[in-house]
Structure formats: C-alpha cells, structure tokens
Amino acid sequence: ASMEALSLSPPMSPPVILTQDELKKIAAYKAVEFVESGMVLGLGTGSTAKHAVDRIGELLRQGKLSNIVGIPTSKKTQEQAVSLGIPLSDLDNYPTIDLAIDGADEVDPHLNLVKGRGGSLLREKMVEGACKKFVCIVDESKLVKHLGGSGLALPVEIVPFCWKFTANKLQKLFQGSDCVAKLRNDGEGKPFVTDNGNYIVDLYLKKEMGDLQVASDAILRIAGVVEHGMFLDMATTVIVAGELGITIKDK
C-alpha cells in the first residue's frame, strides 16, 4: 500500500478547525480529480458521496467534463444526479464501470469497508463490484482498527418475509461477539425499507468478529439474507480528509 499525505494549510499557519462536513467535501473534491471526460462513473450514496456528485455536476455544467455516464447506487443519488443534469444509465447497459466514488462507515488498515448505514449497500456493492477503480472517500472519524469495532452496526439487507427468523439466525451466528441484531426502523415506528423493498438488520457486535471473509461467507449462506455491508478487498483507493490534511491510501 502506498500513502501520500497532502497538507491542507501551509506550515506555521494557525490551525484551521474544519467541520466533519467540510472534511467530507475535501475528500470528495479530491476524488473527483480522478474523473476524466468519457468515463462511466459509479455514483455513491450518503453525505460524503453527495459532495462528489455535486462537484461532477458542476464540472459538467462548466464544460470542464463531458461525455460522462453516471450509474447511481440509490434512488436518492439518482434524483440528485437528474437534478444536476448528469446523464444516467445502469449496469445492464454498462456492466463495466471505469470509476466509482462512494463513502463508507468504517475503513480498516487493509482498506476493507463497512457500508450501508445509509441503507444502500446492495446497489453500492453491485456497482462497486463492477468497477475498475473504486475510490472511497471518508473523513478521518471513519478509520478503525477492525471492522465492526466502532460500536456501530454491521448492516445486513434481508427479505421482509419472516425477518425475525433471519435476524435470530444472524444474532446466533455472531453470538461469540455478543451480537445484538436489531431491525432498522424508519424513525416513525415502521421498518426501514430499502430501494429494493427489503429490510435492514443492524448487527451490534461487542467483540471482534474474527476472520472477515469467513464471517462474510457465513452471513451470505443464511437463506433470507440478500447482502451485507462488509466490502472486502473492493476499494482500490481510500481518500481520508483529516484536520492535518488529506491522506491517499492505495491498494
């Protein structure tokens, strides 16, 4: 892995305190520097990816980019891209994508990710799995030593049919990590429904889950599970924006 550190402010200048959203924007704008005219682009979902999509729209409007095709990873991103005039298509028409830019909830030292706290993990995994290059953009708060270790959840998309049965199977699978499986709600007392009409179970783990590939395979073997939010060995580059500057980590 190679690393490049870019300082945001000249040495000796007073420290600039940036908000988390400003850091997200800095990472997003840096990632858009990888975009070239004529590319097929995977457009991510979430508050970080939103900045990248805005920036792509702006460069198109200014004529600094042309001939772009966007493949959105959610209905929300699709709406945003349409409002910006970004031409869109899908994986059926473009099974190979040049570059995807998307955020993450956790990034480990091997550039494995947890995604899906925004609920779009299935389409994100389909699109990002079809990319030649996947640039993940985060602020430094997303860096973890071990996935699932930040006290936040590992999201799993499941079919609504007998969701308790599937949630119980997931909880049992990770009982060694003191797992609690919770159905995600929409904030109004109803289950959160994904763009694909499915539910999300959030797995709260108190201990590390061990080998990630083994855990991934075991989750996917449960009938009723559609996909999970671990993105193993998928990001080719991670751009991290922090108070001290931008770090670019490559596979």
Minimum CB distance to ligand 5RP smaller for 42 or for 103: 103
Q: Which of 26, 42, 46, 99 binds ligand 5RP (CB under 6 A)?
A: 46
- Contact string (CB under 6 A) for ligand 5RP, positions 96-115, x = contact: ------xxxx---------x
Asked whether 102 and 45 are in contact (CB, 8 A), the reply is yes
Minimum CB–partner distance for residue 12 and ligand 5RP (Å): 32
Report residue 144 as tokens: 């973890």
124 annotated active-site: yes
DSSP state of 81: H
C-alpha span between 189 and 172 (Å, rounded)? 25
Is 121 a binding residue for ligand 5RP by CB under 6 A? The answer is: yes
Q: Which of 18, 22, 47, 94 binds ligand 5RP (CB under 6 A)?
A: 47
Minimum CB–partner distance for residue 52 and ligand 5RP (Å): 10
C-alpha span between 217 and 221 (Å, rounded)? 6
DSSP state of 190: S
- Contact string (CB under 6 A) for ligand 5RP, positions 153-192, x = contact: ----------------------------------------
C-alpha span between 21 and 16 (Å, rounded)? 14
C-alpha span between 74 and 133 (Å, rounded)? 19
Is 240 a binding residue for ligand 5RP by CB under 6 A? The answer is: no
Task: Find all residues with CB under 8 Å of 97, minimum gap 6, and list them.
Answer: 40, 41, 42, 71, 91, 127, 130, 131, 132
Distances (CA, A) of 230 to 170, 213, 238: 14, 9, 15
- Residue of 36, 58, 124, 227 marked active site: 124
Neighbours of 236 (CB within 10 A): 18
Asked whether 142 and 106 are in contact (CB, 8 A), the reply is yes
Minimum CB–partner distance for residue 28 and ligand 5RP (Å): 9
C-alpha span between 106 and 142 (Å, rounded)? 5
Is 148 a binding residue for ligand 5RP by CB under 6 A? The answer is: no
Is 119 a binding residue for ligand 5RP by CB under 6 A? The answer is: yes
Q: Which of 45, 80, 194, 236 binds ligand 5RP (CB under 6 A)?
A: 45
Judged by CB under 6 A, the stretch of 45-53, 125-133, 146-154, 165-173 that binds ligand 5RP is 45-53
Is 120 a binding residue for ligand 5RP by CB under 6 A? The answer is: yes
Q: Which residue has the tokens 């600039």?
A: 16
Is 48 a binding residue for ligand 5RP by CB under 6 A? The answer is: yes
Contacts to ligand 5RP by CB under 6 A: 44-49, 102-105, 115-121, 124
Catalytic annotation, residues: 124
